[in-house]
Structure 1
Amino acid sequence: MAGTGDRRIGIVMNGVTGRMGHRQHLVRSILAIRAEGGLPLADGTRLWPEPVLVGRNAAKLQALAEAHGLERWTTDLDAALAEPDAEIYFDAQVTSGRAAAIRAAIAAGLHVYTEKPVAADVAGALELARAARDAGVKAGVVQDKLFLPGLRKLDRLVRGGFFGRILSVRGEFGYWVFEGDWQEAQRPSWNYRAEDGGGIITDMFCHWRYVLEEIFAPIRSVQCLGATHVARRFDEKGRPYECTADDAAYGTFELDGGIVAQINSSWTTRVFRDELVEFQVDGTEGSAVAGLRRCRVQHRSTTPKPVWNPDIPATEDFRSQWQEVPDNAEMDNGFKAQWELFLRHVVDDEPFRWDLLAGARGVQLAELGLRSWADGRRLAVPELTL
């Protein structure tokens, strides 16, 4: 329980019956902060989050609230936004409903924290950013992959100059999502319907924008080939439907400094790597392979000298020639870590740079990726401002 000296803050949480909203944002972030007695603030008191669960399905909301000992839930977003203690609106609902809900929250005077993509197109995303600016409310967009232990180690290597001149970044992300007939799908069916905001380009290019630019360098051009490899799937009720959105994307990005990044994103690939996402970075002085948690390096001075000979079996254990990068710090859940930063941004006015304009940049890259695929050409990525 919160102590008498604690500051309470109401958080309207929309879309927490979904997989990500429930597991990462409610359970592993907000409820985890409560389990620790609240969030320490600059003045020595602790911030106690009071979630108000919002969604479309009353039965699911009630069951979720009861499972976690929470009392406040509703299917009426306007009523939740009008709660006297409501200060923050959080959105993890289906993409197609996000922009309208964020606009309503801004109009109600709440600060906004949201999943991606923030809107269906760049124009809509910039409209939200301007609305938040004009209303004087604070806004943040989830950039969770920056807080993954593996990518934090990779960022540390870049900042320390380990790579020398960085030449290339190669990323592999994805796994096989079952079609839903003989095995239940791991992702909701709307992900595969473009009319509902689905598609892996729309989903993942928002992530690749901040990963590439925050760790390496600004993106100057994009060339993308998308695909709908599986044309027919089965929804949550076992009904067949035709897929109208892309389930795989093969992107090439040119970064400042001549860095070339290639990232494959796929829900139609079977995993033969150590983690569901991995990035290999090659530079003049060394290379690294980073995933969700691990990061391994090979320096120039310890690089072996392989020789191509297809006539004999490989005799080298290439993986054993790499060195593990140590944690060197306690790394908490990435979603929780960013929630804590945003809460301190709202209450203590600490800096938080991932605002709705940052979210709009992610939407911009996704939009350009889709256009590149449609036009069959490379496109420049212009600066985006309000």
Structure 2
Amino acid sequence: MIQRRIGIIMNGVTGRMGTNQHLIRSIMAIRQQGGVALPNGEALIPDPILVGRNEHKLRALAEAHKIERWSTDLAACLANPNDSIYFDAQSTTLRAENVKAAIQAGKHIYCEKPIATNTSTALELAHLAQQAGVKHGVVQDKLFLPGLQKLKRVIDSGFFGRILSVRGEFGYWVFEGDWQEAQRPSWNYRKEEGGGIIVDMLCHWEYVLHNLFGPVKAVSCLGATHIPERIDEQGNPYACTADDAAYSTFELEGGIIAHFNSSWCVRVYRDELLTIQVDGTHGSARAGLRECKVQSRVNTPKAIWNPDIPNPIDFYASWMDVPDNTTFENGFKAQWELFLKHVVCDTPFPWTLVAGARGVQLAELGLRSWQERRWLDVPAIPTELE
């Protein structure tokens, strides 16, 4: 098989998500499997150059994974015509200016979400990319979770009848950092550094809802900073200035009501860290990261409220597993492969920077809804920006 190289500038992959999901489990995994198979019989081999500000971390990461190229000079990397894709996994506050520079250099853009700290900047990035004629995409990994792919299969089958509501529970207990080390970096809890669960998770819920159920028309969101002080990576206490929990309700096009609780201050008593329940006139489903169960109306037990006797019904018994019926790839890797094919073969890739801007918009409106304590309409963003 003929191999075809594609150079990728990977900025910010020394962080937890960039290292594990994008470098190791995506780009390196694609290289190890022999590349991405193209329709013409060629194999597309990604050739990454790692970029960042910390020379020590970059060198160590490159050596650990036998990557030949790394640099602390982004401008020089963008000037290299042999690398056609720019990927950004930095903290959100640093992203916009570097993405702009990459667009000006003619690079195709693929980046983590949120793509910017505010809607106007996010729309500017999408507009600049469209004007420059470069391919562009944003990471929307939860769409590729096995549980949500199974849920999409159930939706497409017409199983639900008319969908009524969607209920999402996401989160886990993030230790404060005193008697046990925190699982998340301290910047997540500093608003001034782009932290906060509303900014983080409403971007996810926007694309999950949009792609599975329909566009979000309105939002009501209440945030909270439940833990006011945490301990940072150096062992020093710091004040938490960003929200660590969000309780959000969304009105979707078509009348579906969705509610998502997102929290880093909740102890898990459910099957997975994310569960989504969908209720319809003909059936219901409960999806997690990997599993999905359904209950049809003919299998729905007739519950009667009577607190004076022990519950006689096993409510779990009448739910059935949706089978795998396929092999599920790592979601980040699967989307990387689709984006690489999009760049080289012009195959469809709907998750553009415009989709990323919708996520930023919903997060920004969620914050405003919390501040103003009211419902807010979500203006539609056209796919093609003027």
Partner residue of 1:159 out of 156, 161, 170: 156
CA distance in 2, matches of 1:275, 1:201: 20
CA distance in 1, matches of 2:21, 2:334: 11
Is 1:353 matched with 2:343? no
Map 1:343-382; keep pairs closer than 5 Å.
343-382=340-379
The runs of 5 or more residues in structure 2 that have no matched partner are none
Partner residue of 2:272 out of 271, 275, 280: 275
CA distance in 2, matches of 1:18, 1:315: 50
Partner residue of 2:309 out of 309, 312, 331: 312
CA distance in 2, matches of 1:57, 1:185: 22
Q: What amino acid maps onto 2:221 in structure 1? A: C
> What secondary structure does 1:319 align onto?
coil
Deviation string 1:30-56 (CA, Å, 9 cap, x unpaired) is 000000111111211111100101112
Shift of 1:63: 0.9
> What secondary structure does 2:48 align onto?
strand
Map 1:56-95; keep pairs closer than 5 Å.
56-95=53-92
Shift of 1:74: 1.3
CA distance in 1, matches of 2:169, 2:44: 39
CA distance in 1, matches of 2:331, 2:346: 21
Deviation string 1:164-217 (CA, Å, 9 cap, x unpaired) is 011100000000111111111111111111111111000011111110111011
CA distance in 1, matches of 2:118, 2:106: 24
Deviation string 1:47-98 (CA, Å, 9 cap, x unpaired) is 1100101112111111111111111111221122223421101011111101
Q: What amino acid maps onto 2:65 in structure 1? A: H
Partner residue of 2:6 out of 6, 9, 12: 9
Please name the residue that 1:171 is paired with: 168
Please name the residue that 1:104 is paired with: 101
Deviation string 1:99-142 (CA, Å, 9 cap, x unpaired) is 01101111111100000000010000011011111111110001
Q: What amino acid maps onto 2:236 in structure 1? A: R
Please name the residue that 1:147 is paired with: 144
CA distance in 1, matches of 2:57, 2:310: 56
Please name the residue that 2:193 is paired with: 196
Partner residue of 2:288 out of 284, 288, 291: 291
Q: What amino acid maps onto 1:271 in structure 2? A: V
Deviation string 1:337-379 (CA, Å, 9 cap, x unpaired) is 1000000000011111111111000000001000000000000
Q: Is the 8 A contact 2:301 2:315 kept in 1?
A: no
CA distance in 2, matches of 1:16, 1:182: 29
CA distance in 2, matches of 1:330, 1:202: 32
CA distance in 1, matches of 2:119, 2:207: 16
Shift of 1:317: 2.4
CA distance in 1, matches of 2:54, 2:177: 22
CA distance in 2, matches of 1:80, 1:237: 32
CA distance in 2, matches of 1:250, 1:235: 26
CA distance in 1, matches of 2:163, 2:288: 18
> What secondary structure does 2:8 align onto?
strand
Q: Is the 8 A contact 2:12 2:90 kept in 1?
A: yes
Residue identity over aligned pairs, in percent, reads: 67
TM-score using structure 2 length:
0.98
CA distance in 1, matches of 2:376, 2:213: 20
Larger mean Cα displacement after TM superposition, 296-305 or 180-189: 180-189
Aligned length: 383
Please name the residue that 1:28 is paired with: 25
Is 1:259 matched with 2:256? yes
Q: What amino acid maps onto 1:17 in structure 2? A: T
Please name the residue that 2:113 is paired with: 116
Shift of 1:236: 1.1
Deviation string 1:291-340 (CA, Å, 9 cap, x unpaired) is 00000000001111122221222233222221000011111111111000
Is 1:43 matched with 2:47? no
TM-score using structure 1 length:
0.98
> What secondary structure does 2:316 align onto?
helix
CA distance in 2, matches of 1:140, 1:24: 17
> What secondary structure does 1:221 align onto?
strand
